[in-house]
């Protein structure tokens, strides 16, 4: 496989400081979502460094090693609509932004990283004029549903072409993609260019101060270059001529924030929510390298407990399969070094069925395979969705099977829940 990765320089993306320290070295992994047909498995065999680093000067948490987007998104199969509860959440999100900003019907809304058009559909249902920008082939789903989408990476040139054809956008959204931008300063300046003078830029992104509370380390993968606190996000935006005026916390992805942003000096006041989040972050030490070093030690302790259990089950001759096939399950499988103990994976996304997992080459099937194969144990790799997975597969429990839940605490669920 051609090595098209790149090592960026060690300077901080936000403040350009050279004072950067590595805080959590995970096991090298292949690109997280590179699930491929059997005849292309060789394309996912290469592993790349996966290490978190922090800027000692501004507290920016990030990956210093970056993969070329052509490899990260060349076989991208994630669809927004398959994430449990996200379609409903996006409709509520659209309604809240419209109410907050006093946005009138037929206003122009652009969603960056629009994926399958779920967010576009939410704004369209609220009587807005919508346009998506999505570089992956997933954009075809939106286009098929008559949700106009530009199949390209967002840039100054794309911003200019949108302005020329439609005018400036009154709302620009970036949902769970802002952390995936390498040159985030240039990207943000392009957003400012596109945004109407009285417009709102809305970022919704994973929030690691909440994710770490539930030991969620598997949100760390190659597509996620940045792990933002509100403090760091504010500094970045200010450097680009934008300011955060309102922040709220949300449940998706194990914990998220939504930041509503305007041009500096815009007509809306900055409310108390911004300082509230920043003070909480500072008190909890989320801009301190030691916080993440302790987190790394905690996760490696969980790794030891889980691998001891899996090895024992395997030595006893029991069959184990994994439930979940996503970016995060790739991180979990490789950092915990579990792939060699699993027979196969099951997942509820039909687009993954018949493909093979990155690195380990585990086949992915529908969850119906559980009834056919009858494994004794199922390791729930998508542990954030454990409730819906268990409810959907209650027959597996009734037939004597056991679920292993790795995080936030290791448990084995059979006829009863047992902490390990």
Number of domains in the chain: 3
Q: How far is CA 307 from the centre of its chain?
A: 25
> How confident is the model at residue 4, as a pLDDT?
47
Q: Which helix (H) or strand (E) holds 108?
A: strand 108-112
Whether the pTM exceeds 0.75: the reply is yes
Q: What single string gives the DSSP state of each residue in 168-228?
A: -EEEEEEES-GGG-SSHHHHHHHHHHHEEEEEEEEEEEE-HHHHGGGT--TT--TT--EE-
Whether residue 89 is contained in a domain is answered as: yes
Alpha helices (runs of H) in 53-131, residue ranges in sequence order:
69-73, 86-101, 118-125
Whether residue 299 is contained in a domain is answered as: no
Contact 219, 211 (CB under 8 A): yes
Domain span holding position 27? 5-63
376 burial via Cβ count (<10 Å: 0-12, 13-18, 19+): middle
pLDDT at 143 over 90: no
Contact 217, 223 (CB under 8 A): no
Among the candidates 258, 287, 316, a domain finishes at 287
169 and 274 housed in the same domain: yes
Mean pLDDT over the full length of the chain: 92
> How confident is the model at residue 305, as a pLDDT?
97
Whether residue 86 is contained in a domain is answered as: yes
260 and 149 housed in the same domain: yes
Whether residue 292 is contained in a domain is answered as: no
CATH code of the domain containing 398: 3.40.50.720
Give per-residue pLDDT as tens, 57-71. Answer: 999 999 999 887 777
Closest to 205 measured CA to CA, from 165, 161, 237, 162:
237
90 and 209 housed in the same domain: yes
Q: What angle do CA 7, 134, 112 make, to 5 degrees?
A: 90
Strand partners, 200: 171
Structural tokens at position 242: 């934008």
345 and 389 housed in the same domain: yes
219 and 340 housed in the same domain: no
> How confident is the model at residue 41, as a pLDDT?
82
Label the pairing between strands 169-175 and 411-413: unpaired
106: left (phi over 0), alpha (psi -120 to 50) or beta: left
pLDDT at 200 over 50: yes
24 and 114 housed in the same domain: no
336 and 272 housed in the same domain: no
126 and 204 housed in the same domain: yes
123 and 168 housed in the same domain: yes
pLDDT band at 141 (very low <50, low <70, confident <90, very high): confident
Alpha helices (runs of H) in 317-374, residue ranges in sequence order:
327-335, 369-373
> How confident is the model at residue 100, as a pLDDT?
96
> How confident is the model at residue 258, as a pLDDT?
97
Among the candidates 20, 35, 63, a domain finishes at 63
pLDDT at 83 over 70: no
CATH code of the domain containing 192: 3.40.50.150
Closest to 381 measured CA to CA, from 218, 206, 197:
218
Whether residue 252 is contained in a domain is answered as: yes
What does the alpha-carbon distance between residue 105 and residue 11 come to, in Å, rounded to a whole number? 44
136 and 282 housed in the same domain: yes
């Amino acid at each position: 496989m051609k090595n098209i990765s790149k090592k960026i320089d060690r300077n901080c993306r936000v403040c350009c400081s050279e004072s950067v320290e590595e805080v959590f070295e995970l096991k090298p992994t292949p690109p997280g979502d590179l699930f491929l047909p059997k005849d292309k498995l060789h394309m996912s065999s290469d592993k790349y460094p996966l290490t978190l680093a922090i800027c000692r000067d501004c507290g920016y948490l990030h990956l210093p090693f970056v993969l070329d987007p052509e490899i990260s998104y060349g076989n991208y199969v994630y669809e927004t609509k398959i994430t449990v509860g996200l379609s409903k959440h996006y409709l509520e999100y659209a309604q809240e932004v419209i109410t907050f900003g006093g946005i009138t019907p037929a206003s122009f809304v652009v969603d960056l990283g629009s994926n399958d058009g779920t967010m576009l559909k939410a704004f369209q249902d609220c009587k807005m004029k919508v346009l998506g920008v999505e570089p992956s082939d997933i954009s075809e789903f939106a286009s098929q549903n008559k949700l106009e989408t530009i199949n390209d990476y967002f840039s100054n040139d794309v911003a200019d072409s949108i302005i020329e054809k439609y005018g400036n956008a009154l709302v620009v959204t970036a949902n769970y993609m802002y952390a995936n931008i390498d040159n985030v300063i240039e990207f943000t300046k392009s957003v400012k260019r596109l945004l109407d003078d009285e417009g709102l830029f809305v970022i919704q992104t994973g929030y690691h101060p909440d994710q770490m509370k539930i030991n969620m380390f598997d949100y760390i993968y190659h597509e996620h270059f940045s792990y933002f606190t509100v403090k760091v996000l504010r500094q970045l935006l200010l450097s680009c001529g934008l300011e955060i005026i309102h922040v709220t916390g949300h449940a998706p992805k194990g914990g998220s924030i939504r930041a509503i942003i305007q041009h500096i000096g815009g007509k809306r006041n900055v409310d108390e929510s911004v300082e509230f989040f920043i003070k909480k972050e500072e008190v909890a030490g989320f801009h301190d390298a030691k916080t993440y070093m302790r987190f790394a030690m905690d996760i490696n302790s969980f790794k030891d407990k889980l691998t001891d259990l899996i090895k024992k089950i395997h030595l006893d001759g029991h069959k184990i399969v994994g439930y979940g096939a996503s970016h995060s399950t790739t991180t979990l499988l490789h950092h915990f070094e579990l792939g060699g103990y699993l027979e196969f994976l099951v997942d509820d996304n039909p687009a993954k069925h018949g493909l093979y997992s990155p690195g380990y080459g585990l086949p992915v099937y529908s969850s119906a395979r559980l009834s056919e194969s009858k494994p004794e144990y199922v390791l729930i790799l998508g542990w954030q969705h454990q409730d819906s997975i268990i409810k959907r597969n209650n027959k597996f429990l009734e037939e004597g099977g056991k679920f292993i839940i790795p995080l936030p605490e290791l448990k084995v669920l059979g006829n009863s829940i047992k902490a390990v």
